[in-house]
């Protein structure tokens, strides 16, 4: 199925090693949905906090909707994520392990027009891991270029 991305956290794949992905619903206000339809969402520096049986998206920026009334939403407010209890328990167990965190990867519209967010269990990469990954990517690109010229 083809989904329309609202926001993608490209930085996540560079900063973290992604271990497990899951789809979650997100509780939004009306003006936030309209702003998301305009693509005014940033999830780059956000993360998910698991507290008292709930998952909360923290630090995600959804710009205020320009055509809304004078009473508009707070752009950085915490938003509740909608997960099944089994999924929540699975992530809570792994989060207690040192070095794991839950981060959003992308926010998108489903075919039914619902807004979903893909979250992932991740472990932070060290500087030398990031450097090695960049070096490997450059080597693959150079090899592909040479193979193309060789033919």
Write the pLDDT tens digit of every residue in 91-113. Answer: 888 888 777 888 999 889 888 88
How many angstroms separate the CA atoms of 10 and 78, rounded? 21
Mean pLDDT of 62-75: 79
Q: Which fold does the domain 4-125 belong to in CATH?
A: Small Protein B; Chain: A; (2.40.280)
Whole-number pLDDT of residue 1: 53
How many angstroms separate the CA atoms of 32 and 3, rounded? 19
Residues pairing with 48 in the sheet: 57, 102
Do residues 117 and 24 make contact, with C-beta atoms less than 8 angstroms apart?
yes
Looking up tokens 């702003």 gives 35
Indicate the domain borders of the chain: 4-125
Condensed to tens digits (0 to 9), the pLDDT of residues 111-125 reads 888 889 999 988 877
Nearest to 47 by CA among 98, 74, 17, 12: 12
Whole-number pLDDT of residue 128: 75
């Amino acid at each position: 199925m083809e989904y329309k991305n609202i926001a993608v956290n490209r930085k996540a794949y560079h900063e973290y090693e992604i271990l497990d992905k899951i789809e979650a619903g997100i509780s939004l206000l009306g003006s936030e949905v309209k702003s998301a339809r305009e693509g005014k969402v940033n999830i780059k520096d956000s993360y998910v906090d698991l507290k008292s049986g709930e998952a909360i998206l923290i630090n995600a920026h959804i710009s205020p909707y320009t055509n809304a009334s004078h009473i508009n939403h707070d752009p950085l407010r915490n938003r509740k994520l909608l997960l099944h209890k089994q999924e929540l328990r699975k992530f809570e167990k792994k989060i207690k392990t040192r070095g794991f965190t839950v981060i959003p990867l992308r926010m998108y519209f489903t075919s039914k027009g619902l807004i979903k967010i893909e979250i992932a269990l991740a472990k932070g990469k060290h500087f030398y891991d990031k450097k090695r990954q960049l070096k490997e990517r450059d080597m693959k690109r150079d090899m592909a270029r040479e193979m193309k010229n060789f033919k």
